[in-house]
Amino acid sequence: MTQGFMRYKMKNALSVDVEDWYQGILQIGYNQWSQYEERLSKGLNKVLDLFAKYNARATFFVLGYIADKFPEAVERIARGGHEVASHGYYHRPIFEQTPQEFEEDVSRSKKIIESITNTKVKGYRAPFFSVRKDTLWALDILEELGFEYDSSIFPTKNFLYGIPDSAHTAYKAGKGKLVEFPLSVIGRGRFTIPVCGGFYMRVMPYKLIKHGIRHFNRSKGPAVIYMHPWELDKEKPKLPMPLKWRIIYDYNIKTMGSKIERLINDFSFTTIGEVLFGG
Ligand SMILES: [Zn+2]
């Protein structure tokens, strides 16, 4: 692969939700986390090495729990020129929290990350994209806590998350100061196709992903792409669970590394902070 050859000029936002493989599983509560094998560095090192190879900058939404346990991982991310933002503390979906619990969880994660990086945390991404119609109150709390943007709303609908009729590009939300940068989709209504990462990127052939992002860039502007370190960890354990969930957590993991590499070779990527605010 020729580095930078024919790379599209528009800068898109690249993001990584930093959690270990078992922390992103809805069926496992944080009080059970200690039972599972720690593998964060296996995927995270691959992500950081790959981004460095192609000069791609990204926003890393780090769990407060991870920052507390592995401050050196947060330092390494920041040293790589990336933006460090918050993914909450315990990876609980917002719809399972009261507003007060949510405020405590997010505030705790923001403080620990800021104490490590000495830089103000501007951004937040909800676990399981759980800012939905019934949890929009969360945006007001984020604004009160000093966040400048949220990137949690999926303008689509599935059994777990999504606000199907919401905007596809960045807009003012909360009390009016917070910017919402939604996950990128193309199409409308029943024909909405997420083109932006994680599970969707594992399922779709690379050609379709590339085409989708090009289409989004031409018609709407910068896209936001997301991924997880565990998606580059091909040997991560697979837990027995119903087929639907096995597909969500494990399907096509072996293809993710090469898709991400082709993506950051074909497109220019930077942090969400830079795409939204120029820095
Ligand atoms: Zn997550």
Render pLDDT for 137-168 as a digit per residue (tens, 0 to 9): 999 999 999 999 999 999 998 889 999 989 99
- For the chain, what percent of residues have pLDDT higher than 70? 97
Cα(59)–Cα(155) distance, integer angstroms: 20
Per-residue pLDDT at 136 exceeds 80:
yes
Ligand 1 midpoint to CA 60 (Å):
11
Ligand 1 midpoint to CA 4 (Å):
30
Cα(12)–Cα(268) distance, integer angstroms: 6
Confidence (pLDDT) at 192: 87
Give mean pLDDT, residues 258-269: 95
Ligand 1 midpoint to CA 61 (Å):
8
Confidence (pLDDT) at 195: 84
Ligand 1 midpoint to CA 197 (Å):
13
Per-residue pLDDT at 1 exceeds 60:
no
Confidence (pLDDT) at 2: 46
pTM to 2 decimals? 0.95
Per-residue pLDDT at 260 exceeds 70:
yes
Confidence (pLDDT) at 5: 55
Ligand 1 midpoint to CA 172 (Å):
23
Contact 38, 70 (CB under 8 A): no
Give mean pLDDT, residues 53-60: 96
Confidence (pLDDT) at 6: 67
At residue 20, φ and ψ (nearest 5 deg) are -80, 165
Residue 4 or residue 232, greater confidence: 232
- CA torsion 115-152-256-64 (nearest 10°) is 20
8-state DSSP, 91: -
Q: Is the dihedral of CA 182, 185, 186, 190 positive or negative?
A: negative
Cα(96)–Cα(26) distance, integer angstroms: 11
Ligand 1 midpoint to CA 87 (Å):
7
**CA-wise closest residue to 64 among 38, 87, 89, 85:** 89
Ligand 1 midpoint to CA 5 (Å):
33
The pLDDT mean for the chain works out to: 93
Residue 131 or residue 194, greater confidence: 131
Ligand 1 midpoint to CA 14 (Å):
15
CATH of domain 18-277: 3.20.20.370
Ligand 1 midpoint to CA 1 (Å):
31
Give mean pLDDT, residues 198-223: 93
Ligand 1 midpoint to CA 86 (Å):
10
Ligand 1 midpoint to CA 19 (Å):
6
Per-residue pLDDT at 4 exceeds 80:
no
In the chain, where the domains are located: 18-277
Confidence (pLDDT) at 7: 76
Render pLDDT for 109-124 as a digit per residue (tens, 0 to 9): 999 999 999 999 999 9
